[in-house]
Homo-oligomer: A and B are copies of this chain.
Amino acid sequence: MKTGILTIGNELTSGRVQDANSAMIARAMQEQGWPVAAMLSVGDDDAAIHDALAFLLDRVDGLVVTGGLGPTADDITTAAVARAFGLELYTDAEELGRVRAFFEGRGFSWTENNAKQAIFPQGAEIIPNPRGTASGFALRRGDKIVTVIPGVPAEARRMLFEGVIPIFRKAFPEAALHVETVTFKLFGIGESAVDDALADADFDGLGVGLGSYPNFPEIHLVLTARENAPDVAARMLREAGERVEARLAKYIFAKNEKTLAENVARRLTEKGLTLSVAESCTGGLITDRLTDIPGSSAFLERGAVTYSNAAKTALLNVPEEVIRDHGAVSDETARIMAEGVRTSAGTDLGLAVTGIAGPSGGTEAKPVGTTFVALADGNTTVCRSYAFRWDRRRNKVVASQVALMMLWRYLSKGSRSDE
Residues of A whose CB lies within 8 Å of any CB of B are: 10-20, 22-30, 35-43, 48, 51-52, 55, 59, 70-74, 105-109, 111, 113-114, 152, 190-193, 195-196, 211-214, 222, 277, 279, 281-288, 290-292, 294-297, 300-308, 310-311, 314-315, 344-346, 357-361, 387, 389, 392-393, 396
Give Cα A70 to B291, complex, Å.
Answer: 35
Known interface pairs A291-B357, A306-B302; A389-B195 also in contact (CB < 8 Å): no
Give Cα A191 to B392, complex, Å.
Answer: 32
Q: Which of A13, A42, A114, A346 has the most CB of B within 10 A?
A: A13
Known interface pairs A20-B18, A283-B284; A11-B211 also in contact (CB < 8 Å): yes
Q: Are B294 and A284 in contact (CB under 8 A)?
A: no
Q: Are A13 and B38 in contact (CB under 8 A)?
A: yes
Q: Are A310 and B301 in contact (CB under 8 A)?
A: yes
Give Cα A288 to B397, complex, Å.
Answer: 10
Q: Are A305 and B308 in contact (CB under 8 A)?
A: no
Q: Which residue of B lies closest to A42 (CB)?
A: B38
Q: Are A302 and B303 in contact (CB under 8 A)?
A: no
Q: Are B305 and A192 in contact (CB under 8 A)?
A: no
Q: Are A302 and B302 in contact (CB under 8 A)?
A: no
Q: Are B284 and A212 in contact (CB under 8 A)?
A: no
- The interface residues of chain B lying within 8 Å CB-to-CB of A358 are 294
**Can you spell out 11 A-B residue pairs with CB atoms less than 8 angstroms apart?**
A19-B39, A74-B211, A107-B389, A109-B193, A291-B357, A297-B307, A300-B305, A300-B307, A300-B308, A302-B304, A315-B315
Q: Are A283 and B287 in contact (CB under 8 A)?
A: yes
Give Cα A25 to B18, complex, Å.
Answer: 11
Q: Are B294 and A11 in contact (CB under 8 A)?
A: no
Min C-beta distance of A305 to chain B, whole Å = 3
Partner of A17, one of B23, B71, B111, B195: B23
- The interface residues of chain B lying within 8 Å CB-to-CB of A222 are 14, 16
Q: Are B301 and A303 in contact (CB under 8 A)?
A: no
Min C-beta distance of A168 to chain B, whole Å = 16
Known interface pairs A191-B72, A284-B287, A288-B285; A23-B19 also in contact (CB < 8 Å): yes
Q: Are B41 and A51 in contact (CB under 8 A)?
A: no
Q: Are A12 and B16 in contact (CB under 8 A)?
A: no
Q: Are B308 and A302 in contact (CB under 8 A)?
A: yes
Q: Are A37 and B48 in contact (CB under 8 A)?
A: yes
Q: Are B305 and A212 in contact (CB under 8 A)?
A: no
- The interface residues of chain B lying within 8 Å CB-to-CB of A195 are 71-73, 113
Known interface pairs A15-B25, A23-B12, A73-B195; A301-B291 also in contact (CB < 8 Å): no
Give Cα A303 to B213, complex, Å.
Answer: 35
Known interface pairs A113-B192, A113-B195, A314-B344; A26-B38 also in contact (CB < 8 Å): no
Min C-beta distance of A396 to chain B, whole Å = 7
Q: Which residue of B lies closest to A314 (CB)?
A: B344
Partner of A22, one of B26, B41, B344: B41
Q: Are B283 and A292 in contact (CB under 8 A)?
A: yes
Q: Which residue of B lies closest to A191 (CB)?
A: B72
- The interface residues of chain B lying within 8 Å CB-to-CB of A305 are 277, 284, 287, 291, 300, 302-305
- The interface residues of chain B lying within 8 Å CB-to-CB of A59 are 51
Give Cα A24 to B13, complex, Å.
Answer: 10
Q: Are A196 and B288 in contact (CB under 8 A)?
A: no
Q: Are B396 and A211 in contact (CB under 8 A)?
A: no
Q: Which residue of B lies closest to A360 (CB)?
A: B294
> Closest 6 A-B residue pairs measured CB to CB?
A284-B284, A283-B291, A15-B27, A303-B305, A15-B26, A302-B311
- The interface residues of chain B lying within 8 Å CB-to-CB of A311 are 301-302, 345
